[in-house]
Structure 1
Amino acid sequence: MNYLDLVRFASPEIVVTITALAVLTIGLARAGSPRLTSGIAALGLALSAGAVLMLPENAMLSRGMLVVSPLTSLFKFVCLALACLTVFLAHGDSSSRRHHAEYLAIILLGTIGLMLLVGSEELLMIFIGLELTGLSLYVLTAFDKTDQRSAEAGLKYFLFGSTASAFTLFGLSFIYGMSGATGLAAIADKLSAGPIEPMLAAGIVMTLIGFAFKIAAAPFHLWAADTYQGAPIPSAAFIASASKVASFVVLGKIVLVGFGPLQGSAAWHAMAGGWSPVLAALAALSIVIGNLVAFVQTNVRRLLAYSAVAHAGYTLLGLIAGTPEGFSATLFYTTTYAVTLLGAFGVVALVRRETGGDDFQDFSGLRARSPLLAACMAVFMLSLAGLPPLAGFFGKFYLFSAAFRADEWSDLGASTMDDPATLEPMIGLGVPVHQNHGLLWLVALALLGSLISLYYYLTLLKVIFADGRKASESATPELSGAIKIDFLQRISLSGLAAVILFLGVAPSPLLASIIAALK
């Protein structure tokens, strides 16, 4: 291995590391200068994004420990953009003001972990990325020492996360022990060469359980509500957006590349053993539990947490389909969902700053107090509900269509494929993609879940828009005044809402980029 190549290919991560050290140093030298440290953090993330754009189109080091491809470059760029928006959100947050430099440095370290996750196809490096990200997120969750809920959320997140890491590590060790390989492509070769040992099957299931925790899929979602509600809002936004994007990218590569020969079938009438029925069970539980529990929530952050469980179920449909179309739908949906959640948390942060709370009643009459925030929240909630002409509608349509048409795909070379050659680059070494009849039951369940979600999203919008007159008559001083929004916050929220609108009207640029990256 040429060390100059290593430095070149890892230059985005190196830039973020240097930025984190610089932010810490300046924070120590100039205590109480959040504007400067935020600017340096944002600049470092921008420089890292520039380094991503300068990477070669395809390269691999150390048998997959570091992979450079259009897919890894695209989602490193997405993670950096989401981290930069989180830095902007943290700039106006009071919970991190006393130790702002340390807070930003931890966000940057978590971003490095996400980039390692996205840019690797080797089990050891994937686990290192998971742990670096996880340790950063635990600290970010418990960062507000003045709020007991933050400490409680951090402890719960740490305990559940440690358990999930143990499952993941045991699973990966079983896979390595039975296959003798840690690279995803090499594991796929071993799995397709002979019968599957029970220990190897157990390792695959344990690995999927570990990732189910990361994406907050039921029944491994118990940490989500307390973490979303108790963590500082920028921390919750980072967990809900960038962390989830990277987790779905690496989960897709693991199941489609490493575990491809063991896809099985999630068909209702012809279940076949493999990872597909495991993910189907997780998706079904997530859709049902997430929507039913969100149905009765009166706190906005808890509502977003339980709706995130349901959205994890929707997003898994693309992976269960086991097709290029399904994987691209998963990546498109999780990206647009992350942007939407980041914007929603931005609105929650400003409302909480003025009212001291984030219950439904704190949003009452928001239309009168801040028409901009009310309009942005409407865009974000309606996109989460999947209504046109917003990005969430097209994302769900693409996911459900991919799952519905999954039975049109069979092994490589089948006549039903438009271009079978596009599958091989996507899943490494031409791993067969088996027929997956009967996913209509999952699509129907997802459609029913989307209908249920309309109720709680529209209930919040009713509080924001229709309850304004009643709120103004009996308003407390905190609820009656206009909400102050500075220029950066105004531009950020308006920009995120505009992105959601644009991707709903013209999804082709992002979708084409994802499809091209998979080829």
Structure 2
Amino acid sequence: MSVINYGQLLQLAWPEIILTVAALIALAADLLFFRQSALRTRFLVAASIASIGCIAAIFKLLPGSSEGMLLGGVFLSNPATHLVQIALLVIAILTLFLSVDSTFTDHVGEFVLLILLATTGMMFLVASQDLLVIFISLELLSLSVYILAGFDKRSSRSAEAALKYFLFGGMSAAFMLFGFSLLYGFSNSTNLVQIASAIHAVPLNPLVILAIVTTVIGFGFKIAAAPFHFWAPDVYQGAPTPSAAFIASGSKVASFFIFFQVLVIGFAGAEGSATLHHFQSGWVPVIVTVAVASMLLGNLVAITQTSLRRLLAYSAVAHAGYMLLAYVAHSEQSLAALLYYVATYALATLGIFGILTVTEKQLGNDKISDLAGLSRRAPFLSACLFIFVLSLAGIPPLSGFFAKFLLFTAVLAVSPGSKLLIGLIIFAIGMSAVSLYYYLRVLKSAFVADPPADATPIQSPMLLQLVVGLLAAGVVALGCAPDLILNQILKVIHASGL
């Protein structure tokens, strides 16, 4: 029987411990000392305390920090998990400061606590190769974001979003847990490596195929892939803006990374083939189907949207389809491209929600048509919006273009003559061309359409402008010099043996 080394566990889990302590301090400070202060002061103090905790956790994760593995993968710490965890902590910091000027709640300490608890769940999630820990971490993340989605108690849309998110999330968790139970039944283990050694027989057992399908359903919900995306438009539109920004960015980074690990490590040997002449049951045909459905539905439905938030939701569905192509290739290069893609996508999405924080407060809603004349009413914010939208559309030299380019080339490099992969890439490029239409609609409203006759300049807080400007600079810098992080990603993936 394996014995847990609690000293080693404490050493490896220091970043998560620091984050939890920071969350409790932020809550206590707000409740005990700042309850009667101005709302902005309370947000600023709580966000500052939480950010100090995040920064301290980042320092514990920098190169040279403790590495190791407990119980064969129940908890692990390596360069790849450190890199993803640092990205999650940076996203948490940016979300916290984007929320400083929010007015949707008086429960500031509780809001900051939930942001950090969700981040803690994500950090544990990406640092495990054990089904039980993965599921528990997902539930810590999920329960936190369900509450965050409904945190605006004065909004019926927020309550509706939280209810739908919770109901769909509960069903997806049931599917995932059923699939995990089948995997445990076959392998008598919850460790991904041991599961792979037990289920790789060809042809696959029908129950293994069922486990693959239910696992994809569970994770498909987390990444908002079609047809498991039904929660996304309502949550993106109804949740408070900082909550929606966090859900659309941080949870995607963690979910895509762990989903890749579950498939590539846990279902190793059960990939199958999706080619017409050599079809073989496995998880690759399932992923190909979900990817094509996501790209098609996400892009076509986004064309009809009049709400910028709902457009971002269907855009997220389409981007999930692009990113799933990395799973079809399942190589070191495709994982590096996936992490680069999801990180740059998170920056652009956070930036747009940051701009919505200002425009919704002064315009009253998130209609694309109400952005008319934004370039004359808020020149700096509109310039940043220009960068974020074009990055999502995949226009060079922004990071969104190189994310797609690196992903597509990594997929083709696995099997250069594969008709399936070539066909998928051509389809993805075609869908990217379709996405230009609805992205350019947003820019047309902001830069071409005339503002209303009674329009006044839009005032935005300096702190928010600073955060949005940093995000825009990051999108440009990572596009002009993608090697800034791509080489590091490849290095840590190779060092971690993923």
Normalised to the residue count of structure 1, the TM-score between the two structures is 0.91
AA matched with 2:439: Y
Kindly state the Cα deviation for residue 260 of structure 1 after the two structures are TM-superposed: 1.6
Question: Does 2:430 match 1:471?
Answer: no
Question: Does 2:425 match 1:443?
Answer: yes
- The Cα offsets for residues 266-297 of structure 1, whole Å up to 9 and x where unpaired, read as 33543321101101100000000000000011
Distance between the aligned counterparts of 1:205 and 1:327, measured in 2? 22
Structure 2 partner of 1:415: none
Distance between the aligned counterparts of 1:130 and 1:394, measured in 2? 30
Distance between the aligned counterparts of 1:229 and 1:259, measured in 2? 36
Structure 1 partner of 2:324: 316
Kindly state the Cα deviation for residue 402 of structure 1 after the two structures are TM-superposed: 1.9
CA contact (8 A) 2:179 2:214 kept: yes
Superposition pairs of residues 32-431 of structure 1, within 5 angstroms: 32=37, 33-53=42-62, 56=65, 58-96=67-105, 98-192=106-200, 196-408=204-416
SS in 1 for 2:415: helix
Structure 1 partner of 2:440: 458
Distance between the aligned counterparts of 1:496 and 1:341, measured in 2? 9
> In 2 relative to 1, CA 306–325 (structure 1 residues): closer, same or farther, beyond 3 Å?
same
CA contact (8 A) 2:12 2:66 kept: no
Equivalent in 12, 26, 30 of residue 27 of structure 1: 30
AA matched with 1:142: G
CA contact (8 A) 1:141 1:232 kept: yes
AA matched with 2:451: A
SS in 2 for 1:335: helix
CA contact (8 A) 1:407 1:437 kept: no
CA contact (8 A) 1:268 1:441 kept: no
SS in 2 for 1:218: coil
Q: Identity of aligned pairs, percent? A: 45
> In 2 relative to 1, CA 55–125 (structure 1 residues): closer, same or farther, beyond 3 Å?
farther
Kindly state the Cα deviation for residue 485 of structure 1 after the two structures are TM-superposed: 2.1
Distance between the aligned counterparts of 1:400 and 1:268, measured in 2? 21
- The Cα offsets for residues 429-483 of structure 1, whole Å up to 9 and x where unpaired, read as xxxxxx965211211111111001000000110000001xx324x33xxxx2222
> In 2 relative to 1, CA 269–377 (structure 1 residues): closer, same or farther, beyond 3 Å?
farther
- The Cα offsets for residues 369-395 of structure 1, whole Å up to 9 and x where unpaired, read as 111110000000000000000000000
SS in 2 for 1:298: coil
Kindly state the Cα deviation for residue 406 of structure 1 after the two structures are TM-superposed: 2.6
- Structure 1: runs of 5 or more not aligned: 409-434
Equivalent in 453, 464, 470 of residue 489 of structure 1: 464
Superposition CA RMSD, Å: 1.4
Structure 2 partner of 1:16: 19
SS in 2 for 1:263: coil
Distance between the aligned counterparts of 1:267 and 1:504, measured in 2? 34
Distance between the aligned counterparts of 2:275 and 2:102, measured in 1? 47
SS in 1 for 2:8: helix
CA contact (8 A) 1:263 1:274 kept: yes
CA contact (8 A) 2:209 2:281 kept: no
Distance between the aligned counterparts of 2:196 and 2:253, measured in 1? 24
What is the aligned length? 485
> In 2 relative to 1, CA 194–438 (structure 1 residues): closer, same or farther, beyond 3 Å?
closer
- The Cα offsets for residues 74-124 of structure 1, whole Å up to 9 and x where unpaired, read as 00000000011110111111113x111110100110001100111111111
- The Cα offsets for residues 15-60 of structure 1, whole Å up to 9 and x where unpaired, read as 0110111111112112142221111011111111112126646410
Distance between the aligned counterparts of 1:299 and 1:404, measured in 2? 36
> In 2 relative to 1, CA 517–331 (structure 1 residues): closer, same or farther, beyond 3 Å?
same
CA contact (8 A) 2:43 2:101 kept: no
Kindly state the Cα deviation for residue 190 of structure 1 after the two structures are TM-superposed: 1.6
Kindly state the Cα deviation for residue 330 of structure 1 after the two structures are TM-superposed: 1.1
